[in-house]
């Protein structure tokens, strides 16, 4: 890491792996008046998509980026350039913003481990390597006295890791329950208003909230990934996706929603995890009818929320909306926090 001793400005040289919407929004944040970057200069030297990348020693101008920007049109874009081609000594931090693909989790995990072993800090928005081996990634970072962070992967804008760890320092969390997938929560909110599952899903797709293939969300897989990930982080465990009981919302009917409403309840897709006195951890994802007094009852539309439970602090609730800006801001948060520690 470069440092200007006179002004005490820390420069963090970055390589960004993945050039999708979150990456582009992150680049926009670097010049936003709403971003607090006092004392830190973030210089993006590399950014890659699946076919190539850009390298600029002086830093890639963030002003160029917008959600519609195609990085392959950049004058310095080089087809075939890969993250494997870079000189790791030129960067301080790798930001992995590839789309989560569990089939490629082992390869993504190994890449992160390699960069950590080379003394490069790593921030992951890609959930695959985190759910594959968070404990080993954290241990690798400790071994080389550097930082590994994944706040964006664990519910994006929600400070779930910060609240779950630093916010509960001195208190043992016994369980947590969360609405951690904005797409399914939006669909269920639409169904609460009397719309069928099919029409609610179509509305989510029309508004760009759901992907063209929504199975990742509606099957409960995304919720399971985030729930397992958070359980591993909070309790230093090594759970796998296969350890989670999982049920999605794709089998729900309007009759199910109406029955819950008649009882004064709402159905929410909840990811929950608990640890007992023996250290045994359970993880469950399922549509759950929650009563009006439940902490997650009022979390509607694209909003997410997590309720942590401990004997000392009782129930602690965090909530926030699901958005690209929130996800990109979580990446920025991790980077700024890393810079503050080094």
Confidence of residue 7 (pLDDT cuts 50, 70, 90): low
DSSP character at residue 213: S
Number of H helices, E strands in the chain: 10, 14
pLDDT tens per residue across span 209-226: 888 889 999 999 999 999
pLDDT in tens, 306-326: 999 999 999 999 999 888 899
- Write out the H or E segment, with its range, that includes residue 226: helix 221-235
Band of residue 4 on the pLDDT scale cut at 50, 70, 90: very low
- Other Cβ atoms closer than 10 A to 8: 8
| Overall size of the chain counted in residues | 342
Query: b/e map of 35-45 (b: 16 or more CB within 10 Å)?
Result: eebeebbbbbb
Q: Mind listing the domains of the chain with CATH numbers? A: 2-157+325-341 (3.40.50.720), 161-320 (3.30.360.10)
> In the prediction, which pLDDT does 155 show?
85
Task: Evaluate if residue 43 carries a pLDDT over 80.
Answer: yes
Collapsing DSSP to helix, strand or coil, 262 comes out as helix
The pLDDT-based confidence of 69 (bands split at 50, 70, 90) is confident
Band (3; pLDDT cuts 50, 70, 90) = very low
| Confidence class for position 2, pLDDT limits 50, 70, 90 | low
User: Over pLDDT 70: what percentage of the chain?
Assistant: 98
* pLDDT value of residue 9: 86
pLDDT tops 60 at residue 23: yes
User: Is the predicted pLDDT of residue 76 greater than 90, yes or no?
Assistant: yes
Q: Looking at the DSSP assignment, which residues form a beta bridge with residue 13?
A: 43
- Residues 238 and 290: their CA atoms lie apart, in Å, by 29
As a whole number, the mean pLDDT across the chain is: 93
Mean pLDDT along residues 89-94: 96
Q: Is the pLDDT assigned to residue 256 strictly greater than 60?
A: yes
Report the predicted TM-score, pTM, of the whole model to 2 decimal places. Answer: 0.93
Q: Which whole number is the average pLDDT over 249-276?
A: 96
Residue 212: the pLDDT is 81
- The β-bridge relationship of strands 173-179 and 265-275 is antiparallel
Cβ-count burial 239-259 (b if 16+ within 10 Å, e if not): bebeebebbbbbebeeebbee
In this prediction, residue 5 carries a pLDDT of 41
User: How far apart (Å, rounded) are the C-alpha atoms in residues 230 and 184?
Assistant: 19
**Per-residue pLDDT at 208:** 83
- With beta carbons less than 8 A apart as the criterion, state whether 256 and 269 touch: no
Q: Apex CA 316: angle with CA 334 and CA 187, to 5°?
A: 80
Q: Quick one: which of 126, 118, 124, 50 has its CA closest to 90?
A: 118
């Amino acid at each position: 890491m470069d440092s200007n001793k006179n002004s005490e400005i820390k420069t963090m040289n970055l390589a960004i792996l993945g050039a999708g919407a979150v990456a582009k929004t992150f680049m926009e944040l670097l010049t936003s008046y709403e971003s607090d970057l006092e004392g830190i200069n973030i210089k993006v030297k590399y950014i890659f998509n699946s076919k190539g990348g850009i390298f600029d020693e002086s830093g890639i101008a963030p002003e160029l980026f917008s959600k519609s920007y195609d990085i392959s049109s950049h004058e310095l874009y080089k087809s075939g350039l890969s993250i494997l081609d870079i000189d790791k000594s030129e960067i301080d931090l790798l930001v992995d913003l590839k789309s989560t693909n569990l089939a490629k989790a082992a390869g993504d995990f190994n890449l992160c481990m390699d960069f950590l072993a080379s003394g490069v800090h790593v921030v992951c928005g890609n959930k695959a390597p985190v759910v594959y081996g968070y404990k080993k990634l954290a241990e690798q970072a400790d071994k080389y006295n550097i930082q590994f962070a994944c706040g964006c992967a664990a519910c994006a804008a929600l400070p779930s890791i910060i609240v779950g760890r630093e916010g509960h320092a001195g208190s043992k969390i016994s369980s947590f329950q969360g609405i951690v997938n904005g797409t399914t929560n939006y669909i269920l909110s639409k169904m609460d208003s009397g719309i069928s599952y099919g029409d609610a899903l179509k509305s989510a797709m029309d508004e760009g909230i759901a992907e063209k293939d929504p199975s990742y969300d509606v099957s409960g897989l995304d919720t399971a990934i985030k729930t397992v990930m958070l359980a591993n982080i909070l309790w230093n465990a090594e759970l796998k996706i296969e350890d989670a009981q999982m049920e999605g919302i794709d089998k729900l009917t309007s009759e199910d929603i109406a029955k819950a409403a008649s009882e004064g309840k709402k159905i929410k897709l909840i990811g929950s995890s608990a640890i007992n006195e023996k250290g045994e951890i359970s993880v469950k994802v399922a549509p759950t009818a929650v009563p009006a007094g439940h902490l997650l009852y009022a979390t509607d539309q694209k909003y997410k929320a997590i309720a942590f439970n401990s004997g000392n602090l009782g129930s602690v609730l965090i909530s926030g909306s699901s958005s690209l800006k929130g996800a990109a801001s979580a990446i920025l948060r991790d980077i700024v926090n890393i810079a503050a520690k080094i």
